[in-house]
Structure 1
Amino acid sequence: MMKEYKVSVIVPCYNAEQFLTRCLDSLVNQTLEGIEIICVNDASPDNGIAILRDYEARYPNVVVIDLKENVRQGGARNRGIEIARGEYIGFVDADDWTASDMYEKLYIRAKETGADVIACGYDTINSTGKQLCQDHPVNLGIGGPVTQSDLIIQSGSIWGKLIAKELLIQSGLRFPEQIFYEDNYFNAILGTLIQHYEVIPEPLYHYYVNTNSTTHKRNSPHISDRLKSLDLQLEYMQSNGLTLRYAPAIDYLIVRTIFNTVMMYLNTFDNPTLPFLEDLQKRLKDQPIQPGERNKYIKRLFTRREKFYLHFFRTSPYLFLMFYKIKQQFLH
């Protein structure tokens, strides 16, 4: 008879050899009894598989999936979901780590409240060990009780949560594969499915700012995956008749994704070009909203500077590009 667990934690592993021990030590030493740790080696070219096999040999609750083809984080997480035996499922990135009592606190609260999704706070740590900030999911600053729309626009990060496996089984929700920013899609769709959501604000998850990760690299060809993920979100909303019900949240997702893509492009590409920006502007101008005026999320969650940049870019990508190049010259 297969052993059942309270929680299954899925860890996709790719080029994370130097961080794996810290991550796995935080998981095998969890105070919660009945935790399964599923490590998915995503055809990583480093020596991470040797570390994973060592933990698998020493700890009976560690399971290793060794993929021969790279399926990126979304695919790796999906492979973990397929074999997970826990009542709840959690995700940890291989370069992050957790407080030793994180999953015990999340599981107990979930059982006490009947929540199908529960999240904890987190802190952000840089390479020197300095804590940059603390936050928690749905810390939206818009006031009032958390709504379904609030959950749709929550942070794209999937870590620091427990999700009832039954919710994933019934909905069939999985990560898109072979693209980056797959968690943006997953979290937005998850927001439409949640029936009972709980938050423990305490920062129990430690997010490491890995400047060598693919999404942080300069001139990354994967920047357009932000838009691919957005298109998948919109396709789901439309095909499930959710567009009108969650219109403000969806408008915010579109505007925020395009704006973040513009800023990331200008800040991380050596020679940003106008055609790419013009394509983004066209998508932005297709939105029926006036940024910062009628949409409560845009009004409250964009800073004053962001609203200025948003309006400036929407008016003229060319002038905005010139402005940004001049600004960068002064900064350097």
Structure 2
Amino acid sequence: MEPLVSIVTPCYNSAAFITETLDAVVAQRYTNWELIVVDDRSADETCDIVEAFASRHPRVRLVALKENGGVSNARNIGLAEAKGKYIAFLDSDDIWLEDKLSRQVSYMEKELLPLTFCAYNRIDEQGKIISGQIPVPRTVNYNALLAHNVVIFSTSMMLKSAIGDIKFSRAGHEDWIFLLQLLKKCGQGYGINQPLVYYRVRQNSVSSNKLKAIGYTWKIFRESEGINFFRSAILLGRYAVSASLKRLR
């Protein structure tokens, strides 16, 4: 029997994009999945949209939080609810291509891998593709990911047993910190250099705010990972260069 994949989608005021994201999950060729949507006390119609969708698709479940606790809290709750062998995180404005789950599960089952991720294309808020394929390396370890975060979180899939007791911290770039902690445990992640995800770039996101992103990155180096000032400065320079090159693609 095909292993169960638990998909965790945190959302907050995602009414403009959530239907397209949910449709992409239902359209997957791989069929043994559960989708846990954790709504972080949205003020728009997100909950109503997901609830109506879940009434038509029993593998979709809404967890509606009574208080806003941030994306890290929402992901931790979704992770605790997950029953699958594998965990896949999908942000509420990103879109999977139909072969995304099948390609990753097949690769991970065959090679007994703890973490995979894939190439992607960037889209804008209207869904228009605004980049060519963003490639990924064949493998990545802790030091490589520290120097350059090549993993867009919505492209990742990980073995739940490899995650263990790792939790999302309340910090900027919490997904990057989570992956760094995972690689400390499992050694390597494995890339699929095939674009299987549309990653949406939004004007008000942390990743689009360069100064804020740099500030969060510096905190990761200095506070989360405890790296000395000199090496942190070198890593931050590399981060700035790689981020600039990525936007040129």
User: CA contact under 8 A between 1:151 and 1:192: conserved in structure 2?
Assistant: no
CA contact (8 A) 2:134 2:195 kept: yes
Superposition deviation, residue 65 in structure 1: 1.0
The Cα shift of 1:303 comes to 8.4
**Which one of 84, 87, 111 corresponds to residue 85 of structure 2?**
87
Letter in 2 for 1:75: N
1:269-327 Cα deviation digits (max 9, x unpaired): xxxxxxxxxxxxxxxxxxxxxxxxxxxxx9xx6989xxxxxxxxxxxxxxxxxxxxxxx
Pair 195,228 (structure 1): closer, same or farther in 2 beyond 3 Å: closer
Structure-2 change in CA distance of 1:224 and 1:62 (3 Å): same
Answer with 1 or 2: which has the greater Rg: 1
Matched, 1:158 2:153: yes
1:191 maps onto 2:189 in alignment: no
User: Residues 145-182 of structure 1, C-alpha deviation per residue, up to 9 Å, x if partnerless?
Assistant: 7555224443363220110000111xx211112x3221
TM-score computed with the length of structure 2 as normaliser: 0.84
Q: Determine helix, strand or coil for the equivalent of 2:98.
A: coil
Query: Which is worse superposed, 149-158 or 75-84?
Result: 149-158
C-alpha spacing 1:229/1:54, structure 2 compared with 1 (3 Å): farther
Cross-structure match for 1:255? 234
Tell me the C-alpha RMSD between the 2 structures.
Answer: 3.1
**1:136 and 2:168 matched:** no
After TM superposition, give the deviation of residue 70 of structure 1 in Å: 1.7
Deviations 1:176-205 (A, max 9, x none): 12x322122112222222245322111001
1:102 is aligned to 100
Residue 230 in structure 1 maps to residue 221 in structure 2: yes
Matched residues in 2 for 1:152 and 1:190: separation?
Answer: 12
Aligned pairs for 1:20-59 within 5 A:
20-59=18-57
Greater helix percent: which structure?
A: 1
Q: Which structure would you say has the larger RCO, counting Cα contacts within 8 Å and 6 or more residues apart?
A: 2
1:66 positional shift? 0.8
From 143, 146, 155, the equivalent of 1:149 is: 143
Partners of 1:14 and 1:303 lie apart in 2 by 28
Q: Distance in 2 between matches of 1:197 and 1:228?
A: 23
Q: Does 1:175 align with 2:154?
A: no
Amino acid at match of 2:144: D
Out of 202, 216, 219, the position equivalent to 2:194 is: 202
Stretches of structure 2 lacking an aligned partner (at least 5 in a row): none
Change (3 A) 1:226 1:15: farther
TM-score (norm 1): 0.64
8 Å CA contact retained: 2:140, 2:188: no
Helix, strand or coil at the partner of 1:121: strand
